[in-house]
Amino acid sequence: ELKVEQNPLFLSMQEGKNYTIYCNYSTTSDRLYWYRQDPGKSLESLFVLLSNGAVKQEGRLMASLDTKARLSTLHITAAVHDLSATYFCAVDAGTYKYIFGTGTRLKVLA
């Protein structure tokens, strides 16, 4: 059974700092998603990573995928308050089900 571990669960960081959220999964997958959720809002798709070594960047967020290590990272560069949200990784193991991590609640302090 595919399991996804995401850490940290909570992250409080100062504006301008860098940090990384980690997403490990237990079995082979070639597709990984990162979502962002603001309170009371929909999960917003941030990145779709489709192959080993894939790297995608959008603004201050950069996501990467290492399928051999079964690891994805979401790197935050020079955080700003607007990035405060809960971030989820989700793995598609070749079926239509997404297996989610527990989410990382990020709070960026001014």
Partner 1 sequence: EAGVTQFPSHSVIEKGQTVTLRCDPISGHDNLYWYRRVMGKEIKFLLHFVKESKQDESGMPNNRFLAERTGGTYSTLKVQPAELEDSGVYFCASSSDREARETQYFGPGTRLLVL
Length of the chain: 110
Number of residues forming the site for partner 1 (CB under 8 A): 21
Task: Compare residues 18 and 28 and give the one whose CB is closer to partner 1.
Answer: 28
**Residue 48 or 80 having the CB closest to partner 1:** 48
- Cα distances from 48 to residues 12, 16, 91, in angstroms, run 25, 26, 10
| Interface pattern 79-98 for partner 1 (x via CB under 8 A) | ---------x-x-x---xxx
Q: Omega before 39 cis (within 30°)?
A: no
16 token code pair:
């301008």
Interface contacts to partner 1, rule CB under 8 A: 4, 31, 33, 35, 40-43, 45, 48, 88, 90, 92, 96-103
